[in-house]
Structures are given as structure tokens and as C-alpha cells.
């Protein structure tokens, strides 16, 4: 048995994706947005000790975790006290990749491949990208950060390759919508050769490997959004099931 635990480092974000309700609200949880304090993080982590279930830990729910002013310190501490996986069995980061300089990339790669834990503990870096070109990134993500994000992710992948490291796996997400659907093939063409034998997915990735995945936008007209998603995946050459709605049963 396993349980998924999200310790949300912050509900602030540094960009404004047009499909993200979090980015449209002043408050995400019915109060002012915040950054988690050190005592809450430390106490929460130690509180995981002794749970019977395998804990799958993610320092994110809403917001962008890497903009926490002490993100590096928090994550390094978590791995430092997780010797023998006594607190968590798996770990993953969801990020937009805007704040991922070389020092942070090296830190995360070091923690993911550190001794004293099962080798697949730090499973994934999930990057939310949703665009190929600078113009479409700016439109969909509400910020002119496309080139920076591309450099950051490419450097992370390159460092992993140069250091011959297995973990974490890298996945790149693309929420299909009218403004970016035409870039799906370019997105694959750019990233597929850089990743390590990535799966091409029409829903959440389900395998423990690099992946490029396309998801439908949740909208008021879900049938049209699902149809655009299915057609975009087919046009990009993905092997998809029949029909206009190709989400898996577990998807939301």
C-alpha cells in the first residue's frame, strides 16, 4: 500500500498559465498566499516516520515549489533525513522550470542519486511546458520565459547525461488547447532526441521512464476540448484509441 502526500511549499506562482485556476485567483486556499515555514516542513517530514504505507512525497500542490526562497535547503534536508527511506519511498517535483539554474540542477541530481536510499527514490522531474515557440509559450503561460525554461531543462537533461545518472526521469507536459495544438509535432521533434528513449503519451505517463505527454484542457465545453486533444495526438503521430475522448479512467 502507498499514500501520496503533498506538502505544498507555496501557493504562489511566478507565471500565469491561462488554463490554471490558481493563476487567476488572489488566494488559492481561501486566504493570502504563503510560503511554508521551516518548522512546518521539518515537523511534517518527521511525522512521516513509522507510517505503514509507502509514502510518495511531492512538495507541490498548487503554485510553483521552486520559488520558495529556501527550496534547496528544504529538499536537501528531506533527503538528508530519509536514510533507508525511513520517511518517504518516492519523491517527485512538479515545476514550470523557470527557476532551475545550474547549481540547483546539480543539487537535485546529486540528491536523486545519493547513497543511503533506494536508487529509484527521486523518481521524476515533471516539467509543465505547454508550448514549443516563444510566442505560444508567452501566450499560454502568461510570461515571456520560453527560452529560459528551454535552456534550464536542456541543461538539466545534459547534466544527467554527462554524469551518467539514471534518476530522476524527466517528463514534459503539454496541455492541448486551441492556441498551442498546432505546435504538438514541433514539441515532440525538439524534445524526443534530447530525452532518454521517452514514452509518447496521450495522457499522464504511467511508466517509470522519460516521457512527453499531452493532456486535454478542462473547459466548459469538454467534448470540444477532448476532441481537439484526440485529434492533436493523432496528428502528432501518437498511437491513440478510437474516439474523441481518449482519457484514461483514472484521469481528471
Of residues 124-143, which lie at the interface with ligand SF4 (CB under 6 A)? Answer: 128
Which residue, 64 or 226, is less far from ligand SF4 as judged by CB?
64
Residue 238 and residue 232: Cα distance in Å, rounded?
9
Binding of residue 232 to ligand SF4 (CB under 6 A): no
Query: Is the distance from CB of 198 to CB of 192 less than 8 angstroms?
Result: yes
Applying CB under 6 A, what is the total number of residues that bind ligand SF4? 12
Length of the chain equals 252
Binding of residue 46 to ligand SF4 (CB under 6 A): no
Give least dist CB 214 to ligand SF4, A: 15
Q: How far is residue 135 from each of residues 20, 27, 138, 189, measured CA to CA in Å?
A: 18, 28, 5, 18
Binding of residue 152 to ligand SF4 (CB under 6 A): no
Binding of residue 225 to ligand SF4 (CB under 6 A): no
Three-class secondary structure of residue 229 per DSSP:
helix
All cell numbers assigned to 240: 491513440
Residue identified by cell 534550464 is 152
DSSP conformational letter for 61: S
Binding of residue 17 to ligand SF4 (CB under 6 A): yes
Which residue, 15 or 55, is less far from ligand SF4 as judged by CB?
15
Site residues (CB under 6 A) for ligand SF4? 13, 15-17, 20, 22-23, 62-64, 96, 128
Amino acid at each position: 500500500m502507498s499514500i501520496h502526500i503533498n506538502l505544498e511549499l507555496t501557493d504562489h506562482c511566478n507565471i500565469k498559465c491561462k488554463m490554471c485556476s490558481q493563476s487567476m485567483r488572489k488566494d488559492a486556499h481561501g486566504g493570502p498566499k504563503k510560503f511554508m515555514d521551516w518548522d512546518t516542513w521539518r515537523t511534517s517530514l518527521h511525522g512521516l516516520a513509522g507510517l505503514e504505507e509507502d509514502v510518495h512525497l511531492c512538495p507541490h500542490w498548487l503554485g510553483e515549489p521552486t520559488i520558495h526562497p529556501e527550496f534547496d535547503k528544504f529538499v536537501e534536508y528531506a533527503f538528508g533525513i530519509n536514510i533507508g527511506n525511513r520517511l518517504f519511498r518516492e519523491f517527485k517535483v512538479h515545476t514550470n522550470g523557470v527557476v532551475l539554474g545550474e547549481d540547483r540542477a546539480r543539487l537535485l541530481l546529486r540528491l536523486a542519486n545519493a547513497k543511503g536510499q533506494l536508487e529509484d527514490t527521486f523518481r521524476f522531474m515533471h516539467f509543465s511546458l505547454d508550448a514549443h515557440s516563444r510566442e505560444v509559450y508567452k501566450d499560454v503561460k502568461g510570461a515571456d520565459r520560453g527560452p529560459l525554461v528551454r535552456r534550464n531543462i536542456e541543461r538539466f537533461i545534459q547534466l544527467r547525461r554527462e554524469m551518467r545518472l539514471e534518476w530522476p526521469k524527466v517528463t514534459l507536459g503539454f496541455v492541448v488547447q486551441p492556441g498551442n495544438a498546432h505546435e504538438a509535432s514541433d514539441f515532440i521533434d525538439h524534445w524526443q532526441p534530447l530525452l532518454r528513449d521517452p514514452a509518447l503519451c496521450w495522457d499522464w505517463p504511467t511508466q517509470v521512464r522519460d516521457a512527453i505527454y499531452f493532456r486535454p484542457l478542462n473547459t466548459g465545453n469538454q467534448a470540444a476540448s477532448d476532441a481537439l486533444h484526440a485529434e492533436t495526438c493523432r496528428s502528432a503521430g501518437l498511437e491513440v484509441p478510437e474516439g474523441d475522448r481518449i482519457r484514461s479512467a483514472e484521469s481528471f
